[in-house]
Chain A
Amino acid sequence: DADVTQTPRNRITKTGKRIMLECSQTKGHDRMYWYRQDPGLGLRLIYYSFDVKDINKGEISDGYSVSRQAQAKFSLSLESAIPNQTALYFCATSDPTAAGGHLYGYTFGSGTRLTVV
């Protein structure tokens, strides 16, 4: 099983619909992130969570909300989807507790390709 699992892998939805993307992890990491990937723009941070009670807005949070149901689960919701939210969405986790305190990398899920029509 993958360390970071995203569901669904692909989704087509209509403008105005509410949609939830789910992410679960078996890494035991406290930190979880949601990014969206657009051609030429790289990955941009939507929301991040350092633990179950700590949720923070990222660079492009407008139009999105999140829920950290448990250490292992971090869901991203689009309350009313619009076409410019068509993108590839990635969930990631990290563990900053490695030696040095700041030595860590991210573990990414396989992504959810969302199309809003």
Chain B
Amino acid sequence: AQSVSQHNHHVILSEAASLELGCNYSYGGTVNLFWYVQYPGQHLQLLLKYFSGDPLVKGIKGFEAEFIKSKFSFNLRKPSVQWSDTAEYFCAVNAYDAGNMLTFGGGTRLMVKP
């Protein structure tokens, strides 16, 4: 079965700082990869997703993520964070031959100080 690890549970940054959140997964087959964001008191929303092609994918609100197959990683980045990026971020993996089920990482809580 696939698993997803997010190594940073809590991250605190100042506005304009750069962000990188780590995500590693364990599965040897073809995967689809997602990052979701959960703003305080809200439901999960899709930030970006990777299925195939260019391993650098761009999502909403200036976020991007890079799929590195050899490292089983899909790290989320943003060059300059804003206070409004304060949220919890979840990485998720869907194994192509596992019934298209999503497995989520434990989440990273980001706080951006104004």
Q: Which residues of A contact B (CB under 8 A)?
A: 35, 40-45, 48, 90, 94, 96, 100, 102-106, 108-111
CA distance A40 to B104 in the complex (A): 11
CA distance A106 to B45 in the complex (A): 9
A102 touches B106 (CB 8 A): no
Q: How many A-B contacts if CB must be within 8 Å?
A: 44
A43 touches B34 (CB 8 A): no
Pick the interface stretch among B11-19, B62-70, B73-81, B95-103.
B95-103
A102 touches B42 (CB 8 A): no
**A42-B106, A111-B43 given. 15 additional CB < 8 A pairs?**
A40-B106, A42-B4, A42-B90, A42-B104, A43-B44, A43-B90, A44-B104, A96-B100, A102-B32, A102-B51, A102-B100, A104-B100, A105-B46, A108-B43, A108-B44
Q: Give 1 or 0 for each of B53-97: 1 = CB within 8 Å of chain A CB.
A: 000000000000000000000000000000000000010001010
**Chain B: interface size category:** 20 to 34
CA distance A103 to B34 in the complex (A): 11
A45 touches B101 (CB 8 A): yes
B42 touches A110 (CB 8 A): yes
Residues of A within 8 A of B6 (CB): 42
Contact for A100 among B34, B51, B94, CB less than 8 A:
B51
A-B contact list, 26 entries, CB within 8 Å = A35-B104, A41-B106, A42-B4, A42-B6, A42-B90, A42-B104, A42-B106, A42-B107, A43-B90, A43-B104, A44-B104, A90-B43, A90-B44, A94-B100, A96-B100, A102-B32, A102-B51, A102-B96, A104-B100, A105-B46, A105-B49, A106-B44, A106-B102, A108-B43, A108-B45, A109-B43
